[in-house]
Amino acid sequence: MQDEKTPALFTHLSALSQLVGIPFGNIVGPLVLWLIFRERSDYVNHHGKEAVNFNISFMIYFAVAGILCFVIIGLLLLPVLVVVWIVFVIIATVKASNGEGYRYPFTIRFIK
Protein backbone atom coordinates (compact mmCIF):
# COMPACT_ATOMS: atom_id res chain seq x y z
CA MET A 1 0.00 0.00 0.00
CA GLN A 2 2.90 2.40 0.71
CA ASP A 3 4.03 2.20 -2.92
CA GLU A 4 0.51 3.26 -3.95
CA LYS A 5 0.34 6.22 -1.57
CA THR A 6 3.32 8.10 -2.99
CA PRO A 7 2.11 8.42 -6.61
CA ALA A 8 -1.42 9.20 -5.39
CA LEU A 9 -0.08 11.89 -3.06
CA PHE A 10 2.08 13.49 -5.76
CA THR A 11 -0.80 13.39 -8.26
CA HIS A 12 -2.69 15.81 -6.01
CA LEU A 13 0.36 17.78 -4.91
CA SER A 14 1.58 18.36 -8.48
CA ALA A 15 -1.42 20.65 -9.06
CA LEU A 16 0.29 23.23 -6.87
CA SER A 17 2.98 23.61 -9.55
CA GLN A 18 0.67 26.28 -10.97
CA LEU A 19 1.58 28.44 -7.98
CA VAL A 20 5.26 28.54 -8.97
CA GLY A 21 4.48 29.77 -12.44
CA ILE A 22 4.20 26.61 -14.54
CA PRO A 23 1.47 27.37 -17.09
CA PHE A 24 -1.40 24.91 -16.75
CA GLY A 25 0.68 23.00 -14.20
CA ASN A 26 -2.45 22.35 -12.20
CA ILE A 27 -3.75 20.19 -15.04
CA VAL A 28 -0.58 18.93 -16.72
CA GLY A 29 1.07 17.70 -13.49
CA PRO A 30 -1.82 15.53 -12.29
CA LEU A 31 -2.59 14.36 -15.84
CA VAL A 32 0.96 13.20 -16.56
CA LEU A 33 1.30 11.43 -13.20
CA TRP A 34 -2.13 9.79 -13.58
CA LEU A 35 -1.29 8.56 -17.09
CA ILE A 36 2.01 7.11 -15.87
CA PHE A 37 0.72 5.41 -12.70
CA ARG A 38 -2.95 4.57 -13.40
CA GLU A 39 -2.22 0.98 -14.37
CA ARG A 40 -0.45 0.23 -11.07
CA SER A 41 -3.53 0.15 -8.87
CA ASP A 42 -7.15 1.17 -8.56
CA TYR A 43 -6.15 3.42 -5.66
CA VAL A 44 -3.78 5.51 -7.77
CA ASN A 45 -6.23 5.48 -10.68
CA HIS A 46 -9.00 6.84 -8.42
CA HIS A 47 -6.85 9.65 -7.03
CA GLY A 48 -5.49 10.53 -10.46
CA LYS A 49 -8.94 10.84 -12.00
CA GLU A 50 -10.13 12.92 -9.07
CA ALA A 51 -7.16 15.29 -9.32
CA VAL A 52 -7.52 15.75 -13.08
CA ASN A 53 -11.29 16.26 -12.93
CA PHE A 54 -11.03 18.71 -10.04
CA ASN A 55 -8.35 20.83 -11.68
CA ILE A 56 -10.12 20.97 -15.04
CA SER A 57 -13.32 21.97 -13.23
CA PHE A 58 -11.55 24.71 -11.31
CA MET A 59 -9.88 26.05 -14.46
CA ILE A 60 -13.38 26.50 -15.86
CA TYR A 61 -14.49 28.22 -12.64
CA PHE A 62 -11.43 30.52 -12.77
CA ALA A 63 -12.21 31.41 -16.41
CA VAL A 64 -15.81 32.27 -15.54
CA ALA A 65 -14.66 34.36 -12.57
CA GLY A 66 -12.16 36.11 -14.84
CA ILE A 67 -14.93 37.02 -17.25
CA LEU A 68 -17.07 38.20 -14.33
CA CYS A 69 -14.31 40.64 -13.35
CA PHE A 70 -15.87 42.98 -15.89
CA VAL A 71 -18.90 43.26 -13.59
CA ILE A 72 -16.91 43.34 -10.32
CA ILE A 73 -18.27 39.98 -9.06
CA GLY A 74 -15.21 38.18 -10.42
CA LEU A 75 -12.91 40.34 -8.31
CA LEU A 76 -14.58 38.86 -5.24
CA LEU A 77 -14.75 35.32 -6.61
CA LEU A 78 -11.14 34.92 -7.73
CA PRO A 79 -9.50 35.11 -4.28
CA VAL A 80 -12.16 32.81 -2.83
CA LEU A 81 -11.57 30.28 -5.62
CA VAL A 82 -7.81 30.37 -5.05
CA VAL A 83 -8.19 29.66 -1.32
CA VAL A 84 -10.78 26.92 -1.88
CA TRP A 85 -8.62 25.32 -4.57
CA ILE A 86 -5.51 25.27 -2.35
CA VAL A 87 -7.43 23.94 0.68
CA PHE A 88 -9.05 21.11 -1.29
CA VAL A 89 -5.74 20.11 -2.90
CA ILE A 90 -4.12 19.95 0.55
CA ILE A 91 -7.03 17.92 1.98
CA ALA A 92 -6.82 15.46 -0.94
CA THR A 93 -3.05 15.17 -0.52
CA VAL A 94 -3.40 14.36 3.18
CA LYS A 95 -6.16 11.82 2.48
CA ALA A 96 -4.01 10.14 -0.19
CA SER A 97 -1.03 9.97 2.16
CA ASN A 98 -3.26 8.36 4.82
CA GLY A 99 -4.44 5.69 2.39
CA GLU A 100 -7.99 7.04 2.19
CA GLY A 101 -10.13 7.70 -0.85
CA TYR A 102 -11.24 11.25 -1.52
CA ARG A 103 -13.81 12.84 -3.82
CA TYR A 104 -13.39 16.54 -4.43
CA PRO A 105 -16.54 18.62 -4.03
CA PHE A 106 -17.65 20.99 -6.81
CA THR A 107 -16.12 18.73 -9.45
CA ILE A 108 -17.40 17.97 -12.92
CA ARG A 109 -16.61 14.31 -13.65
CA PHE A 110 -15.05 14.51 -17.12
CA ILE A 111 -13.13 11.26 -16.65
CA LYS A 112 -15.18 8.47 -15.16
Q: Is residue 78 part of a domain?
A: yes
Q: Is residue 104 part of a domain?
A: no
Q: Is residue 37 part of a domain?
A: yes
Residue 8, amino acid: A
Q: Is residue 106 part of a domain?
A: no
> What per-residue confidence (pLDDT) applies to 109?
94
Question: Which SS3 state, helix, strand or coil, does residue 103 take?
Answer: coil
The residue range of the domain holding 54 is 2-97
How many domains are contained in the chain? Answer: 1
Residue 86 has pLDDT above 70, yes or no: yes
> What per-residue confidence (pLDDT) applies to 1?
62
Q: Is residue 47 part of a domain?
A: yes
Q: How far apart are CA 91 and CA 57, in angstroms?
A: 17
Quick: pLDDT tens for 6-42: 999 999 999 999 889 888 999 999 999 999 999 989 9
pTM of the model: 0.92
Q: Is residue 108 part of a domain?
A: no
Q: Cα–chain-centroid distance for residue 6?
A: 16
